Copies of this chain bind each other. A is one copy, B any other.
Amino acid sequence: MKRLYGGIDLGGSKIESVVCDEEGRVLASERRPTPVESAGALLEGLAASLRAACATAGARPEELEGVGLGAPGPLDAGSGLLLEPPNLGGLRDLPLAEPLARMLGAPCFLENDANAAALGEFTFGAGRGVRDGVYITLSTGIGGGLVLDGRLYRGASGTAGEVGHMILEPEGPLCGCGRRGCWEALASGLALAREARAALERLPAGPEREWWLARLSGRLEAVTARDVFAAEAAGVAPGPELVEREAGWVGVGMANLIQLLAPRRIVVGGGLSRAGERLLGRARARALELAFASATRELEIVPAELEAPGAVGAAVVAMRRLRGEA
């Protein structure tokens, strides 16, 4: 019988679970909102989501070789503690791996969600076959994971790969982390929406303003990154210039990763990556312009390939830990 693994991606708003085989083929997947009333409800939600995926796959949870759980940091991968759980009202140092293992009857392993997604993409997705790469998730925030010499690189403190908090403009906009000018504050989905709000406030009356008012039901302040890409596709100002600015900042951050790490491949996932080449093409051009030619000759900057990089990556975490690998 095939070896099966479970993978769970715990996000602030949703839980996504998969059951997959050791070639990364997804046999079943499941999504549900993240219960945030209590630690107990969160654990129950995680277990129930994976059990549902198992039922679809025709397997019992205790038949899984292991289950990986990707969660937003900071966390302690070794001890399986979530240090600062999202949306759980300030609860700290929540044990996840051990109680989940008891509930499911299978070994559980915790990992930072961006690291898990990096392992997923560099094992079964757009980074497969590559030993040196960086995974970037462009989403509400910006996260990342480093795969160096074929292994996940966590650094001495276990926190390596916080690419979203490189500072690219020390006097720049305030970041959610409290600092100024982080990549995330300049190029995340939230940053793009912030820039759009400011630009829409300045947009004079006319057909373009009407387009926005119709799209946003009159609430210009409700604009999101998705609306900006829609405006760019429709040629409606300030969509094109906002996407241009966004791509430029994505490119600057990528250039720094290239200068420092000289990766073979950069894989870009997250909601913003769905804008495709309109964003990635320009960001790539900017990155290649800013990085040393000697570092970019064989470099590829490509979109993520997996349907659920976080959940499949979590399953890869389980596979690797069970083999004693990083």
Q: In the complex, what's the smallest C-beta–C-beta distance from A14 to chain B, in angstroms?
A: 25
Q: Does A315 contact B (CB under 8 A)?
A: no
Taking CB atoms, residues of chain B closer than 8 Å to A298 are 156-157
Q: In the complex, what's the smallest C-beta–C-beta distance from A94 to chain B, in angstroms?
A: 16
Contact residues, A289-315 vs B (CB, 8 A): 290, 292, 294-299
Taking CB atoms, residues of chain B closer than 8 Å to A74 are 292, 294
Q: Are A295 and B159 in contact (CB under 8 A)?
A: yes
Q: Does A263 contact B (CB under 8 A)?
A: yes
Q: Are A252 and B170 in contact (CB under 8 A)?
A: yes
Which of A27-35, A42-50, A56-64, A161-169 lies at the interface?
Answer: A161-169
Taking CB atoms, residues of chain B closer than 8 Å to A296 are 157
User: Which residue of B160, B163, B292 is within 8 Å of A159 (Cβ)?
Assistant: B292
Q: In the complex, what's the smallest C-beta–C-beta distance from A150 to chain B, in angstroms?
A: 11
* Contacts A157-B295, A179-B290 given; does A165 touch B263 at CB 8 Å: no
When chains A and B are docked, how far (Å) is the Cα of A296 from the Cα of B252? 25
CB<8 Å pairs between A and B, sample of 28: A73-B294, A74-B292, A132-B156, A146-B260, A148-B148, A149-B149, A149-B153, A155-B262, A155-B263, A155-B295, A156-B264, A156-B298, A157-B264, A157-B296, A157-B298, A159-B262, A161-B260, A161-B262, A162-B292, A163-B259, A163-B260, A165-B259, A166-B256, A167-B168, A167-B252, A167-B256, A179-B290, A260-B261
Q: Are A262 and B297 in contact (CB under 8 A)?
A: no
Q: Are B260 and A162 in contact (CB under 8 A)?
A: yes
* Contacts A168-B170, A255-B167 given; does A153 touch B159 at CB 8 Å: no
Q: Does A158 contact B (CB under 8 A)?
A: yes
When chains A and B are docked, how far (Å) is the Cα of A49 from the Cα of B162? 44
Taking CB atoms, residues of chain B closer than 8 Å to A160 are 260-262
Q: Are A157 and B260 in contact (CB under 8 A)?
A: no
* Contacts A153-B148, A156-B264 given; does A162 touch B297 at CB 8 Å: no
Q: Are B290 and A155 in contact (CB under 8 A)?
A: no
Taking CB atoms, residues of chain B closer than 8 Å to A197 are none
* Contacts A162-B292, A260-B260 given; does A299 touch B157 at CB 8 Å: yes
Given contacts A132-B155, A158-B262, A159-B294, 18 further A-B contacts (CB under 8 A): A83-B294, A146-B260, A148-B148, A148-B153, A149-B149, A149-B151, A156-B263, A156-B298, A157-B264, A157-B294, A158-B294, A161-B262, A162-B260, A162-B292, A162-B295, A165-B259, A165-B292, A170-B252
Q: Does A226 contact B (CB under 8 A)?
A: no
Q: Does A154 contact B (CB under 8 A)?
A: yes
Q: Does A274 contact B (CB under 8 A)?
A: no
Contact with B along A236-270 (1 / 0, CB 8 A): 00000000000000001001110111111000000
Contact residues, A62-84 vs B (CB, 8 A): 73-74, 83
A249 nearest CB neighbor, chain B only = B170
Q: Does A278 contact B (CB under 8 A)?
A: no
